[in-house]
Amino acid sequence: MGRVSMRDKFYQALVIGASAGGISAVATLLSGLSPRLTIPIMIVQHRLPVLDQFLTQYWNDASVFQVKEADDKDALQPGVAYVAPPNYHLLVEQDKVLSLSIDPKICYARPSIDVLFETAADAYLTQVIGVILTGANSDGTAGLRRIKINGGLTIAQAPNTAESTTMPQSAIDSGVIDEILPLTNISLFLNNLF
């Protein structure tokens, strides 16, 4: 039986995680995405509450998609990017509705990338793409492992293009990454899947 190419696979969601250096990295990724990518996007960026309004506006200006801060019980819509609010974990429920949680921090972070990635993996199984970008801890590695186990696609920013290499390198070292790409090539790769 032949191997199914990634382009032949049907993806329904994109999850992105970033920390130190991530604000500009996420903007770069979003700015390169084609409007053909009509799936919901969910983003966890480790951040301070003072960046609240700036962050969504900055990414809105960089993107062809609507970027909004996620609300509890948001029903996921195609072509919308949902950003985890500060001090809340962002989760994907089985019915593709978002929920927010104030459960304890994971990897010293709330929102946690692992929480988003793990719940998205369980909700979407083989149909989710996980992307880990620049960051200074290991948050996201466990979530990418769940995505990989469930048959989804995992992508890490090439560490030599990351402002902080620890986060993508942790994921790469864990052996769960399908594609390691320079930051500027990630959106092109994603566009070619749709």
Q: What CATH number corresponds to the domain at position 19?
A: 3.40.50.180
pLDDT at 4 over 50: no
| 89 noted as active-site residue | no
What is the distance between the alpha carbons of residues 166 and 163, in angstroms, rounded to a whole number?
9
Q: Decide if 1 is inside a domain.
A: no
CA–CA–CA angle 138, 140, 141 (5° rounding): 70
Give the per-residue pLDDT at 2. 38
Query: Domain containing 84: what range?
Result: 6-191
- pTM of structure: 0.94
User: In this prediction, what percent of the chain has a pLDDT beyond 70?
Assistant: 94
114 contacts: CB under 8 Å, gap ≥ 6: 106, 107, 139, 140, 141, 142, 143
Summarised one tens digit per residue, pLDDT across range 75-126 is 999 999 999 999 999 999 999 999 999 999 888 889 999 999 999 999 999 9
How many folded domains does the chain comprise? 1
What is the distance between the alpha carbons of residues 139 and 44, in angstroms, rounded to a whole number?
10
pLDDT (mean) for 140-146: 98
Judging by beta carbons within 10 Å of its beta carbon (0-12, 13-18, 19+), is residue 154 exposed, middle or buried? Answer: buried
Q: Decide if 87 is inside a domain.
A: yes
Q: Decide if 88 is inside a domain.
A: yes
At residue 175, φ and ψ (nearest 5 deg) are: 80, 20
pLDDT (mean) for 34-46: 95
Q: Decide if 179 is inside a domain.
A: yes
As a whole number, the mean pLDDT across the chain is 93
| 19 noted as active-site residue | yes
Q: Decide if 24 is inside a domain.
A: yes
Q: What is residue 163's DSSP assignment?
A: S
Identified catalytic residue from 46, 63, 74, 114: 46
Identified catalytic residue from 89, 114, 139, 164: 139
